[in-house]
Structure 1
Amino acid sequence: MATTFTNCSLFTGTSEKILKDAWFTVDDTGKVAEVGSGQAPSTNKTVDLGGQYVTPGLTNVHTHITMDPLTGDGGTSRGVVASTVGAVDHLHQLLKSGVTYVRECGSSFDIDIALKALKDQGQLKQVPQIMPSGKFFSMTGGHGDMPNAAYVVDSPDEMRKAVRTALKKGAKAIKVIATGGVMTPNDFMDDPQLSVAEMHVAVEEAHHKGQIVAAHAEGNPGIMNAIQAGVDSVEHGFYVNDEEIDLMLKQGTYLTPTLVADWAIPTFAKGKIPDWEVKKAADALDDLYKNIMHAFHRGVPLTLGTDAGTPFNDFTMAPVELQLMVEQGMTPFEAFSTSVNGTKLMGVDDQYGTLEKGKFADFLVLENDPMADVKAFQQKDKQVYQGGKRQY
């Protein structure tokens, strides 16, 4: 049964233009069939959107749904039941906040793989589309060497076996740890961890199956190691430099800044998590802003990701990430385009990301114009649709 949505201002995501007095029709497969303005066609069902703004749903390509943002260690020591209950709740929060597609970047007990299967079977409702990663890949004693959350590998052969195992279980994205990070006490952002050879094996095995590889890489030389290994996206990239940018542009590597993850710790976590963890984040924030914006201005494609689940960085922060991008000099449309880039990174941009004919009608209904003020995405009671059906 086709449904026509009428009386809205439509932002399709393809340009900053807002189509006034707009309408669009969604067919019985949940995809956009027609878009126009003025007199709407007659269909089985009509929904009047009351003159509000319609925008594509957001894509968050860096989430950790099994983590607990109210703990310093992310709650990775929790058991499988508590982690699963939390993950389901976090998926609901993500969708309600306006995120209609996520790529996981490390999930305890491979819970995201199981939840993806339940969603595909229709047993898990009101959650985003999920690209699962399962557990991430760390060296012994590395940033990702956390209970129940990682494959711990210390050679190319161990990496090959582990990645093949993850792909067999259903992982659609592989997450490798190239550097130290904020949340671990015994390493730093400029500590290289997995080697080029180890990460290259992960890339080789994932690409054989048509899957993508993300690298946690905050400092140097680890960022360069990850790019040389051929990863599809660099996550965080706090200290990305021109030499690395040159290679990213040559190879088409994406960069996921996760600005809000670093911003949230000195903003909300002082006195609530260890001082060393707060200091690491605070010391890096200005450098992060400067280096990410330099990469953006040089043409590196940025994606929208929040690192949701890290300390005081909950599952509603994708709209805040957009705000931080704009505060650093991007236009609202440039910031939103990082969401579209996320669908390109995941290889689903033919079906998701913008509201065009033939794509799924995953969209938000907002009171205010998001291209005039990107904080419009932060509306608490926004309407959220998937496949033309209202979820919130």
Structure 2
Amino acid sequence: MTTVFKNCHFFAGTSATVQQDAWFTVGDDGKLTATGTGQAPAADNVVDLGGQYVTPGLTNVHTHISLDPLTGDGGSATGVVPTTVRAVAHLHQLLKSGVTYIRECGCSFDIDIALKQLQTDGQLTKVPTIMPSGKLFSMTGGHGDLPNTAYVVDSPDEMRKAVRTAMKKGAQAIKVIATGGVMTPSDFMNDPQLSTAEMAVAVEEAHHKGRVVAAHAEGNPGIMNAIKAGVDSIEHGFYVTDEEVDMMLEQGTYITPTLVADWAIPTFAKGKIPDWEVKKAADALDDLYHNLMHAFKRGVPLTLGTDAGTPFNDFTMSPVELQLMVEQGMTPFEAFNTSVNGAKLMKVDSEYGTLEVGKYADFLVLNADPMQDVKAFQQTDKAVYLQGQRQY
């Protein structure tokens, strides 16, 4: 049965234009069948949206649903049952915040793979569509070498077997660790970790099955190593250089800035997590703003990702990431377009990311126009729809 949604301002996500006095229809398969303005067509099922603003749901390509954002180490030593309960709660929070599609970037116990299967079977509802990664790939002693969190690999052959194993289990994305990071005390952002040869094997195996590869890469030479390995996205990329930008433009590599992950630590975590961890984040903030916006201005496609689950970076922060992008000089549409780029990175943009005929009707209903003020996405009582069905 077709449902007609009428009396709304309609932002399809394909340009900054917001159509006034709009309507759209959704079929039994949950996909948009028509859009228009003026008089809405007749239908048995009609939803009057009361003059509010309809926008595509957000795509977040960097989440960690198993982590506890109220701890310095993410609570990685927690057992599988409480971690699973926590992960499900985080999925609900993501959807309620307006995120309708996620790519996990490292999940303890491969919990996201199991939850994806439950979602596919219809046993897990009111959560975003999940692209699971399972556990991430780290070297011995590297960033991410935490309990229950990583495949620990120390050669190309070990990487090859681990990636094949992960995909056999159901991993649809692969996450490799190219540099140190904020959450580990024994390394720094400019410490290279997995080698180019090790990461290139991960790329080769993942691409054989059409999977995408993300590289945690904050400083150099690790960013360069990951680009040379052929990864699809650089996660964080705080110290990206012009030489690397040139290579990314040539190869079509994306950057997921995760501004909010670094911003949240000095903003909320002082006195609550170790001082060394706060200092790492605070020292990088101005540099990463400058470098990432420079890469954006040069044409590198940015994606929307928050690193949700890292310290004091909870699962409601995707709209705040958009706000930070605008504060650094992007227009509201340019910031929103990072969500569309996320769907492109994941190769699901034929069905997700924008509100066009033939795509799933995953949308939000807001009180205000997000193209005038991007903070409209932060509305706490927004309506959230998946495939034309209201979830919140």
Which TM-score band (shorter chain)?
A: over 0.9
Runs (4 or more) in structure 1 with deviation over 6 Å come to: none
Q: Secondary structure in 1 aligned to 2:181?
A: coil
2:388 aligned partner: 388
Distance 1:286 1:375 in 2: 22
Partner of 2:46: 46
Equivalent position of 2:130 in the other structure: 130
CA distance in structure 1 between the aligned counterparts of 2:219 and 2:127, rounded to whole angstroms: 34
The secondary structure found in structure 2 opposite 1:51 is: strand
**Is 2:357 the partner of 1:357?**
yes
Alpha-carbon separation, structure 2, partners of 1:315 and 1:72: 16
Per-residue Cα deviation, 1:70-93 (whole angstroms, up to 9, x for no partner): 000011111100110000000000
Query: For residue 303 of structure 1, what is the aligned residue in structure 2?
Result: 303
Residue 13, structure 1, aligned to residue 10, structure 2: no
What letter corresponds to residue 355 of structure 2 in structure 1? L
The CA deviation string for residues 139-191 of structure 1, in whole angstroms up to 9 with x for no partner, is 00000101000000000000000000000000000000000000000000000
What secondary structure is seen at the aligned counterpart in 2 of 1:50? strand
Tell me, yes or no, if structure 1 residue 158 matches structure 2 residue 173.
Answer: no
Q: In the TM superposition, what are the counterparts of 1:312-331 in structure 2 within 5 Å?
A: 312-331=312-331
What runs of 5+ residues in structure 2 fail to find an aligned partner? none
Aligned to 2:263: 263
Question: Structure 2: how far apart are the matches of 1:7 and 1:345?
Answer: 33
Q: Which amino acid aligns with 1:25?
A: T
Shift of 1:43: 1.4
Partner of 1:102 in structure 2?
A: 102
Gap runs ≥5 in structure 1? none
Inter-partner Cα distance in structure 1 for 2:181 and 2:19: 44
Instruction: State the partner residue of 1:372.
Output: 372
**Matched ranges for 1:113-192 at <5 A:** 113-192=113-192
TM-score by length of structure 2 reads: 1.00
- Matched residue, 2:279: 279
Q: Which amino acid aligns with 2:128?
A: P
The DSSP-based 3-state class of the residue aligned with 2:51 is coil
User: Does the alignment pair 1:238 with 2:238?
Assistant: yes
Please tell me the residue identity of whatever aligns with 1:296.
F
Note the alpha carbon deviations across 1:229-282, whole angstroms, 9 max, x for none.
Answer: 000000000000000000000000000000000000000000000000000000
**Deviation of the 1:44 alpha carbon:** 2.0
User: Matched residue pairs, number?
Assistant: 392
Q: Deviations over 1:344-368 (max 9, x none)?
A: 0000000000000000000000000
- 1:30 aligned partner, one-letter code: G
Counterparts of 1:79 and 1:238 in 2: how far apart (Å)? 33
Measure the CA separation in 1 of the matches of 2:79 and 2:108: 9
Q: Match of 1:336, as an amino acid? A: F
Equivalent residue, structure 1, for 2:289: 289
What secondary structure does 1:103 align onto? Answer: strand
Q: Which amino acid aligns with 2:370?
A: P
Q: 1:46 aligns to what SS in structure 2?
A: strand
What do residues 15-45 of structure 1 show as CA deviations (whole Å, max 9, x unaligned)? 0000000000001100000000000001120
Structure 2 CA distance for aligned equivalents of residues 380 and 311 of structure 1: 22
Deviations 1:99-122 (A, max 9, x none): 000000000000000000000000
> Identity of aligned pairs, percent?
80
Q: What do the CA deviations read for 1:303-347 (whole angstroms, capped 9, x no partner)?
A: 000000000000000000000000000000000000000000000
In 1, Cα distance between equivalents of 2:209 and 2:78: 32
Query: Could you say what secondary structure the match of 1:49 adopts?
Result: strand
Looking at structure 2, the residues matched to 340 and 11 of structure 1 have their Cα atoms a distance apart, in angstroms, of 13
Q: TM-score, normalised by structure 1?
A: 1.00
